[in-house]
Amino acid sequence: MSFDVPPRVTPTCCLQMQVNQSVFLYFEGFEFDVAERPKWYVKGIVDSAGFPVEHVVEAKCCPFCGTKVPEIVKSNLGDLKIHKTGSGNDSGYRCGTCKKRNRECDCLPPEFHWAPANDPNLKSLKDTIDRHLLRVQQAKEDAIANGD
Ligand SMILES: [Zn+2]
Ligand SMILES: [Zn+2]
């Protein structure tokens, strides 16, 4: 996906969580199916033969306010495009939603097919989603300005 900082689905418990996006929905593994349930994760770091390697660790609660992570439900985002793993010969290489190659896809990350149970429309993430849409729009305008 072409944006630098992908937006994340986070719990709605507190402002600190919304600002820092420390706990986020994530599909384990490279290939995923949108029918598969993502889980809540935090970032961790491990030593791999002397090198620090980031990885994700399942989260049970918010590190700021201590609220337990919420149950998740299928999201309802109306017209907003959300990335899907492609099917057919190109499986895994093209987005099943916009049909562009994965790296050119501007759709929201696949985790956005899911939402906290208390916020299925992801109203709590309105700013995050708006910033993403603005970046997509700017990238398109830059591409036109650069003639490609
Ligand atoms: Zn919190
Ligand atoms: Zn796409």
User: Considering the domain boundaries, does residue 47 fall inside one?
Assistant: yes
**Which residue's entry shows tokens 């017209």?**
79
Coil, strand or helix: which one is 133?
helix
Q: Does 6 reside within a domain?
A: no
Cα of 43 from ligand 1 centre, angstroms: 16
Residue 8 lies in a domain: no
Assigned domain for 3 exists? no
81: in domain: yes
In a domain, 10, yes or no: no
**Per-residue pLDDT, 86:** 66
Contact 138, 130 (CB under 8 A): no
Q: Would you state the structure tokens that stand for residue 123, as one six-digit string? A: 């109203």
Residue type at position 93: Y
pLDDT of residue 92: 55
Q: What is the pLDDT of residue 2?
A: 43
Residue 4 is assigned to a structural domain of this protein: no
Ligand at shortest distance from the CA of 67: 1
Count how many domains the chain has.
Answer: 1
Cα of 100 vs centre of ligand 2, distance in Å, is 6
Question: Domain range spanning residue 129?
Answer: 15-145
Strand ranges of the sheet holding 24-26, from the earlier edge strand across to the other edge: 24-26, 39-48, 51-58
Residue 60's pLDDT is 97
Sequence-ordered list of residues with C-beta below 8 angstroms from that of 48, at least 6 positions apart, any chain:
none
Q: Give per-10-residue mean pLDDT for the chain (148 aa).
A: 71 92 83 75 92 93 97 94 72 79 86 95 92 89 82
* Reported pTM: 0.84
Asked if residue 7 is part of any domain, the answer here is: no
